[in-house]
Structure 1
Amino acid sequence: MRTAEIRSRFLDYFAERGHTVVPGAPLPTPDPTLLFVNAGMVPFKPCLTGETPAPWPRAASVQKCVRTLDIEEVGRTTRHGSFFQMNGNFSFGDYFKEEAIAFAWELSTKPVAEGGYGLEPERIWVTVHHSDSEARALWRRVAGLPDGRIVSRGDEDNYWSMGVPGPCGPCSELYYDRGTAFGKPGGPDADEDRYMEFWNLVFMQYERGEGHGKSGYPILGELPSRNIDTGMGLERMATLLQGVGNLYEIDETWPVLERAARLTGVAYGSDEDGDVRLRVVADHVRTALMLLADGTTPGNEGRGYVLRRILRRAVRSMRLLGHHDPALPELLPVARDLMAQSYPEVAGSFERIADQAYAEEEAFRSTLRQGTTILDTAVAKVRAEGGSSLPGSQAFMLHDTYGFPIDLTLEMAAEQGVTVDRDGFTELMSQQRERARADARARKSGSTVNTSELRTVLGEHGPTDWRAWDALTTDSRVLALLGTDGTLPVARTGDIVTVVLDRTPFYAESGGQESDAGHLTGASVEADVLDVQRPLPGLVVHQVRVTAGELAAGDPVHAAVDPEWRLGARQAHSGTHVLHAALREILGPGALQSGSYNRPGHLRLDFPWRGALSASARSEIEEAANRALRRDLPVDVRWMTLPEARQAGALALFDETYGEQVRVVEIGGAWSRELCGGTHVAHASQVGVVALTAEYSVGAGMRRLEAAVGNEGFGHLARERDLVSRIAEQLQAPRAELPDRIATLLGRLKAADQENQRLRERENAARAAELAAGSREIGGALLAASVIEGDGPAARRLARSVRDKLPQGRPGVAAIAARDGDKGLMAVALTPAARSAGLSAGTLVKEALQGRGGGTDDVAQGGGIPADQLDQALRKLTDTLAATA
């Protein structure tokens, strides 16, 4: 049975039993504690924890998941991969243990001809929590399982919580006996390779308190509403039903592995190291495909770094297997064809996916060439000095300068028998991140509120009545004042606090749109709203600075958005949609927005593209955007179901989570149709103008456009007009002739520069000949030395020129000291005879400058001393040379 059919049978089975089939969420998740969805329940987390009411009493989904905590173990074991799919059925206060057990048993054992999976009942084992006698009794009664195939386990294996106060409960897991070929008998406790877990049932029935670990917390009591969360591993079930040895051999991964084996000439099963690398390739290519399809782009931080690491591990595994040509163009289309049956979007957006993946591979191939040479040199130096550990600073330099991931440095160093000072590297990375955080804090100061405090507020008062779409003001009541240490009784002049209101007109930052600015006023208080966020689903919080008076919980306030700010924000957000549509109109559907940011007067938009846009392309994009504004295209907002929106061709942001009903913003109908929760103008002409201000690279295969809109856009164009006017006035030329006139001037400047260079070379040659002729013998070598006015390159050029004019049959040293302002530096060049005599330019420079400098035996340079110490440095070099006699 193919994986796609296993998936559809699961959804059909639960749909027939009253479950709402909920589309899986994108892999990037807005949950601040996660980079990617890593379990089937993650999209349902707000419903399961009671933060928001569930829209359905029972639901079913197939959720894409990525787990990367143990990425180095991928391929080494055959039961775990970085990407997997979790089939889940959920109950929100509806059915409980008996029905969950009955559903799992029936679907697992029902004959294939009747819509089930046809597993043999006598080969199924289950585990239960040792305290859960109810589940044990149900397995006996519902499934007819004997006690011998019901295994009791403790908290570590069969008790679930999210690691924080909230819902918890016992679990029950289903295992299938694959037979003697896979291990020894005795059930899951004896061998979890032979007895493969394929389904986990979580019974959420208790509330836990504070504590650590799997069991270090109190149980506070029964939940008022009990829930069911189950997860059936799709790849695990495919392994069982397709009769293969492991998840790398199922229909959605094996063809990739097989293609990699053919490309490398390494037969799968012939060598354990080769098998591991082939499994890494099969897993990582599919994972990368799905991450790219959901909008993640390669980068150096967060999600982007995870994707970059996965892509690079796949490419490097192919190189270690002997394939040195580009690998992803051979492998990624195979993965696309396998996954498209269940996820049509991987085929529909494959041009964009491929562009990003192939650009990343090409960038990594260049990185490998540079970084490998540097790493090999560093390892050789460590060994020559009798060491066994690469300094953390070296690993950090490889990462920071050459984009060499630390995991790759660790792997390659280990292959050469050298460890890496990981602690030193981590410390340098921490310092770098702290600098970035400090910069962010400087831009947006304020208090950080404990999430548990916010959960309490949400539980007591319910969701915020949010009116940003249709209001600029509301009469509101303060529900809570919060600071870093918890609830505050009052906030006074100068305090920055977090305020929760019962209703608000303020837009909370999301979807790339910056939050609103404005004010809170009351009978005895005035406060500026600095930032607005949505830290929990349904809850809007305001960071405010009290400018006068006092503010306390329960106070009535008038909340007012700055109308000019809101107008600018609407113009910028609608302008982003317009620019996105214009981009796709000119460049094609592959130019799909992968990130955006907009605030009043300014927008930026990231999109996948290989190479810089030409001036004509930028002009066409800008013209297409402003043509839409001139046509005054209508801006309409419609609500529909997510499947209806997708059917209508609406574009979705990858890192947003959508409910049953979604908000679709259309500009000119199908010309621009996107899922969006932002604020927008009513007609395109209200944007004013879109003026492109910049276009540049933000990573391999990723470009960024920036634009000014509204009044700022007109201001930008006015400044450009004034600049052109000044240039025309200075050149005394009509504007239409400026390009030709400037080109003529640049040509003249270039010719003048070339002539000056020729004159400098003649002067340099004459001076070099003069210095060489005036050389004197010191310690058996000819020394030509001088102090000049100039920089490092000038000193180096003159030193080489003097060196070349010294008698080549004798040891010769050219030393040029240079004053660069108040700084001093020195360049030294040696003849071949001097090097043969044992002299070293690098050593001479270091001696002259007290260790400040270095280079090769041939040419070296150093600096770091005051200019008035250059004569002293030349005397030191002379003494060193004399001492070598």
Structure 2
Amino acid sequence: MKGNELRQAYLQFFENKGHLKLDSFSLIPDNDPSLLLIGAGMAPLKPFFTGKLVPPRTRITTSQKCMRTGDLENVGRTARHHTFFEMLGNFSFGDYFKKEAIHWAWEFLTEVIKLDKSKLYVTVYPDDEEAYNTWLNDCGVPADHISRLEDNFWEIGEGPCGPDSEIFFDLGPERGCGCDDCAPGCDCDRYLEIWNLVFTQFNKTATGEYEPLAKKNIDTGAGLERLASVLQNCESNFETDLIFPIIEATAKKAGVTYHTDANTDVSLKVIADHARAVTALISDGVLPSNEGRGYVLRRILRRAVRHGRLLGIEGPFLTPLVDVVVDILGPGIQSIAEKQDFVKRVVANEEERFNQTLAQGLDLLSSLIDSLVDEKATVLPGTEVFKLYDTYGFPWELTEEIASERGLAIDHEGFDAAMQEQRTRAREARASEDAKVATPDITYLANETLTEDESATESEVLMIGKGSDRIETAADGDEVTIIVRSTPFHAEGGGQLGDTGFITGPMGKMEIHNTKRLPEGTVYHIGTVVEGSLNQGNKVQVNVDVARRNSMARNHTATHLLHAALKTVLGAHVNQAGSLVTPGYLRFDFTHFSPVTQEELNQIEYLVNEEILKATDVAIAEMSMDEAKEKGAMALFGDKYGDVVRVVEVPGFSVELCGGSHVGNTAFIGTFRLISEAGIGSGVRRIEAITGAAAVEAARHDRETISEMAATLKTKPNQVQERLHQVLEEAKSVERELADIRKDLAATGVADVVSAKVMVNDVPTVLAMVKASDMDNLRDYADKGIEQLGSGVVLLASVNEDKINFVCKVSKDVVKRGAHAGNIVKAAAQAAGGNGGGRPDMAQAGGKDPEKLNDALRAAGEALKAMLG
């Protein structure tokens, strides 16, 4: 059975058992700052397990994309470690429990995919008699195939927890450790865990008590790649049809053969795994950057490139592998298939950037090794190895290989310590984020009818939350969340900030700072009680800051017009990669792989304003996703949509799915003005713009600025540009004259310096201090000095702002005798607390301690003497 067939068989099996099949959630967690990326099948469903949100159905099944990078170094070195993988899962929220979960797992494994029953083993928690008896009596698993293990209990601190039961497949004694007591749970590879059933039946309290849950849950997980490896009789997950075609394509590119060399195999596996991860991350909207998810993506992609280098591949090679990944995963994961071209462009751009970075790293490593060899060192410090690894993407293996060629070992302990320090910082950062998560329990509102109505002015308080607790009363000064029966407030989303305003009750008033939406759709308001108190059940007045909302509506509709104009001017490849809609301005990030020219920006701005001047009514309607696609509606990258979507259309120009606030007619935008355009990452550009009153104010400010400039330049406002060019040309002319004067002065002043030359091993040498205004001036002195000297060495120094600048020039005939300007100037700079270097014939450097100027000149002379022998 192929991997895609296995995924489909699993989902269809549980659909037939009454489960709602959901598409894989994005790898980007929704409204959960405790997670950087989704790392488990149940992670997107956490609010349903904790009981804080009502699930769309009490039975759900998914094949969830997952990403784990905690043990990145093991990828490719073991049979099962991956960064990206899929977790098959069936979940029950207060519906069925142990018996059904066990029966269905056994039925799927033995009757649907027909695994050999004699090779299946299970483990249970020692006290879980119900699970043990179900396996033994109902499923007929022999007693000697059932183990009781203390580890079979799932908990993560306080909260829902319970025993679990794992299913193992016996891969045969040839894969084992050879011990007589080898059994499931052994560290060897013989018994492969293929399924885990978690029976969430307790709530662990702060005091350590295990209280029975009123509604028990089921959380199961089966690794798609692991199951495929068993069905396809593969030695590891990497040989399955879900991964092996990528290995084959890479091996062909590198001109190597799989299974002939252990190190080669590791690199092939790393590249195959990372190609899948990179494709999945980018298709879900993650883009390369130096922080957060973008850093994870960049690190994985660069690690793949490094292993390509280890295989001998020169230049870009990852982009064609994206096609292979899409061929494999696209049939089962729609988002990957839809974003194929975009993923390839991001990968190509990032790989090219990294190849340049890699070259810089090689130069840095070479310079570092040169210094250590000069110092007679034998070990490359671990901190430097880690810097190369972390900043330039060098694996320590590559650093070790290059260092060993020059007779240096690397400090493994220092490297490991630096790596551990980074991991500790990362854990602390995640723990800090964990503390911010606080979602009130709203399951008691399941039967309430909550509405969103822009015209609502009165409502009722249904819930007040403080942190993760529900409270009855919020007093003056309390920062709380609040849910009302009918709200006119727009929730944050689609890049638009949430509405602000006031909620006023009979005894108090609350200022709303932001409005957000829970994953299942409930709108909640965040704010501070500024007068008196509010109680649950209060009848309240709800007042949105309408002026602020109208400003955001102008900017939001303008964002849609901008998106359409970008596609028209730059091409259909342009897609939204992030946005922000505020009352003061709009920001739009989009995919494009070169700077936008001024001419293109002018066209974009013109198209948007042209649509504004047409005074077109904006049409907003709710419809099915299929109907929206028929209309050509654009879905914003990374946003999530239900079966019924809201479509915002500017007829004949723009159609997008959007839940934000918009103007009723494009004329209400007033005017649109671009204020900046820049690159913000690999293949991503950012435009900022203003509308309405902000655009009018900007125009007024520009007019006043031009008037002031005209007055300063003594001309008319409409002649400022012409006059400014004239002034700049005059300034350039004066600058050229000054430069000529400086050179003449240098020629005059350097004669005295050259006359004070000394002989170093019969080479005329000038080692002197001069007064120079800057480094350019100092170079002029050195040029004139070597010109007057004819043959020899000139090292000049000047002191500026408590620093020393050095310039060294060496004539070609003296270079042939072994003199090296870069090393001469380096010796001088180091003697004065600095560093530097350069070419054999010309170099410059800087020193930090002017008091050591004489020491620096003396060190330069000694260095030259050593070179000349």
- Same structural fold, with TM-score higher than 0.5 when normalized by the shorter chain: yes
> What SS does the corresponding residue of 1:77 show, helix, strand or coil?
coil
Alignment-derived partner of residue 151 in structure 1:
147
Q: Return the match for 2:684 from 698, 702, 721.
A: 702
The question of 1:795 aligning with 2:778 is answered: yes
Q: Is the 8 A contact 2:615 2:665 kept in 1?
A: yes
Pair 1:268 & 2:258 matched: yes
Instruction: Give 1:378's match in structure 2, choosing from 345, 349, 368.
Output: 368
Counterparts of 2:118 and 2:628, CA distance in 1: 46
Q: State how 1:712-751 maps to structure 2 within 5 Å.
A: 712-720=694-702
CA contact (8 A) 1:474 1:505 kept: no
CA contact (8 A) 1:804 1:831 kept: no
After TM superposition, the structure 1 = structure 2 runs for residues 703-852 of structure 1, keeping only pairs within 5 Å, are 703-720=685-702, 757=739, 760-769=742-751, 771-773=753-755, 783=766, 785=768, 787-788=770-771, 790-806=773-789, 808-809=791-792, 813-819=794-800, 823=802, 825-829=804-808, 831=810, 840-845=824-829, 847=831, 849=832, 851=833
- Give, in whole Å, the separation in 2 of the partners of 1:432 and 1:197: 29
Q: Structure 1 744/398 Cα, relative in aligned 2: closer, same or farther at 3 Å? A: farther
Match of 1:118 among 93, 114, 118: 114
Partner residue of 1:455 out of 414, 431, 440: 440
SS class of match (2:109): helix
1:828–1:845 contact (8 Å) kept in structure 2: no
Task: Name 1:206's counterpart in structure 2.
Answer: 202
State the partner residue of 1:167: 160
Could you tell me whether the CA contact under 8 Å between 1:396 and 1:428 is conserved in 2? no
- CA distance, structure 1, for counterparts of residue 245 and residue 652 of structure 2: 38
- Is the aligned partner of 1:862 residue 2:846? yes
- State the Cα distance separating 1:363 from its structure 2 match: 0.6
Cα distance change on mapping 1:629 and 1:243 into 2, 3 Å:
farther
Aligned partner (choices 540, 547, 562) of residue 564 of structure 1: 547
What's the CA shift for 1:733?
A: 7.9
Residue 24 of structure 1 aligns to which amino acid in structure 2? S
How many percent identity over aligned positions? Answer: 32
Aligned to 1:44: 45
The CA deviation string for residues 251-309 of structure 1, in whole angstroms up to 9 with x for no partner, is 12111101111111221101111111100011101111111111110110010001001
Q: In structure 2, what is the equivalent of residue 442 of structure 1? A: none
Q: Distance in 2 between matches of 1:710 and 1:286?
A: 45
Deviations 1:497-526 (A, max 9, x none): 345454665445443222334345567766
Shift of 1:331: 1.9
8 Å Cα contact 2:475/2:529 also seen in 1: no
Shift of 1:830: 5.9
Match of 1:390 among 377, 381, 393: 381
Q: What residue identity is the alignment partner of 2:440?
A: R
Measure the CA separation in 2 of the matches of 1:449 and 1:282.
32
**Residue in 1 aligned with 2:596?**
613
* Alpha-carbon distance, 1:489 to partner: 8.5
Residue 104 (structure 1) aligns with:
105
Post-superposition Cα deviations, 1:472-511, rounded to whole Å, max 9, x if no partner, equal 755565965758999898765xx57345454665445443
Partner in structure 1 of residue 169 of structure 2: 176
Q: Distance in 2 between matches of 1:469 and 1:588?
A: 38
* Counterpart code for 1:455: P
Give a deviation string over 1:94-149, Cα, whole Å, max 9, x none. 22222222222222222xxxxx2122223222222222111121122332211111
8 A contact 1:800–1:814 mirrored in 2: no
> For 1:875 and 1:756, how far apart are their aligned partners in 2?
31
Q: Does the C-alpha gap of structure 1 residues 25 and 448 become closer, same or farther in structure 2, counting only changes over 3 Å? A: closer
Deviation, structure 1 residue 360:
0.5
What is the TM-score normalised by the length of structure 1?
0.83
Decide which of 281, 297, 304 is 2:271's aligned counterpart.
281
Q: Please name the residue that 1:19 is paired with.
A: 19
Trace 1:131-530 onto structure 2 (pairs within 5 A).
131-154=127-150, 156=151, 158-161=152-155, 163-183=156-176, 187-190=183-186, 193-210=189-206, 217-221=208-212, 223-379=213-369, 381-382=371-372, 384=375, 386=377, 388=379, 390=381, 392=383, 403-405=391-393, 408=394, 410-415=396-401, 416=403, 417-419=409-411, 420=414, 454-455=439-440, 458=442, 470-471=454-455, 474=458, 477=461, 480=464, 482=466, 497-500=479-482, 502=484, 505-519=488-502, 528-530=511-513
Q: 1:726 and 1:449 mapped to 2: Cα distance?
A: 53
SS in 2 for 1:51: coil
Taking the aligned partners of 1:685 and 1:250, their CA distance within structure 2 comes to 58
SS state at 1:788 partner: coil
Distance of aligned partners of 1:432 and 1:543 in 2 relative to their CA distance in 1, 3 Å threshold: farther
Q: Give the Å deviation of 1:677.
A: 3.4
Judge conservation of contact 2:33–2:434 (CA < 8 Å) in 1. Answer: no
- Please state how far the C-alpha of 1:224 moved relative to its aligned partner: 1.4
CA distance in 2, matches of 1:141, 1:760: 100
Q: Distance in 1 between matches of 2:259 and 2:119?
A: 28
The corresponding residue for 1:9 is 9
Q: Do the aligned partners of residues 576 and 837 (structure 1) sit closer, same or farther apart at CA in structure 2, a change above 3 Å counting?
A: closer
- Cα distance 1:837–1:674, how it changes in 2: closer, same or farther (>3 A)? closer
| Matching residue of 1:113 | none
Change in CA separation of 1:790 and 1:397 when aligned onto 2, cut-off 3 Å: farther
Question: Closer, same or farther in 2 for the Cα pair 1:128/1:397, shift >3 Å?
Answer: closer
- Residue in structure 1 matched with residue 406 of structure 2 by the alignment: none
- Describe the shift of the 1:270–1:819 C-alpha distance in structure 2 as closer, same or farther (beyond 3 A): closer
Residue by residue, what CA displacement relative to the aligned partner does 1:154-179 show, whole Å, maximum 9, x if unpaired?
Answer: 2x3x2223x24222122222222333
| Amino acid paired to 2:15 | A
Distance change (3 Å), C-alpha of 1:244 and 1:841: closer
C-alpha spacing 1:852/1:196, structure 2 compared with 1 (3 Å) = closer
User: In structure 1, how many angstroms separate the alpha carbons of the residues matched to 2:423 and 2:384?
Assistant: 10
- 2:96 — aligned with what? 95
How far the C-alpha of 1:73 sits from its partner, in A, is 0.7
Deviations 1:673-719 (CA, angstroms, capped at 9, x unpaired): 44433333233333333321111111222211111122212333444
Write the deviation string for residues 163-204 of structure 1: whole angstroms up to 9, x where unpaired.
Answer: 242221222222223334533685423566333222222222
Deviations 1:332-352 (A, max 9, x none): 222222222223443432221
Of residues 569, 573, 576, the one that matches 1:590 is 573
Q: 3-state DSSP class of the match of 2:645? A: strand
Q: Which amino acid aligns with 1:470?
A: E
**Whole-Å separation in 1 of the counterparts to 2:860 and 2:673:** 64
> Is 1:622 matched up with 2:605?
yes
Tell me, in whole angstroms, the C-alpha distance in 2 between the residues paired with 1:878 and 1:178: 73
Residue 771 of structure 2 aligns to a residue whose secondary structure is: strand
CA distance in 1 between partners of 2:715 and 2:148 (Å): 92
Q: Work out the CA distance in 1 between the residues paired with 2:270 and 2:59.
A: 37
Asked if structure 2 preserves the Cα contact closer than 8 Å seen for 1:779 and 1:883, the reply is no
TM-score, scaled to structure 2 = 0.84
Aligned residue for 2:169, secondary structure, equals strand
Secondary structure at 2:147 match in 1: strand
Cα deviation, residue 68, structure 1:
1.1
- Shift of residue 596 of structure 1? 1.3
1:841–1:328 distance in 2 versus 1, CA, 3 Å: closer
Which of 573, 582, 586 is 1:599 aligned to? 582
Task: Indicate if the aligned counterparts of 1:464 and 1:502 stay in contact, CA closer than 8 A.
Answer: no
Q: Quick check: 2:479–2:527 contact (8 Å CA) kept in 1? A: yes
CA distance in 2, matches of 1:484, 1:123: 46
Give, in whole Å, the separation in 2 of the partners of 1:882 and 1:71: 51
Cα distance between partner residues in 1 of 2:273 and 2:861: 65
The correspondence for 2:526, drawn from 533, 538, 542, is: 542
Contact 1:298 1:699 in 2 (8 A): yes
The number of residue pairs the alignment matches comes to 838
- 1:613 touches 1:695 (CA, 8 Å); kept in 2? yes
Native 8 Å contact 1:830 1:840 kept in 2: no
Which residue pairs with 1:444 in the alignment?
none
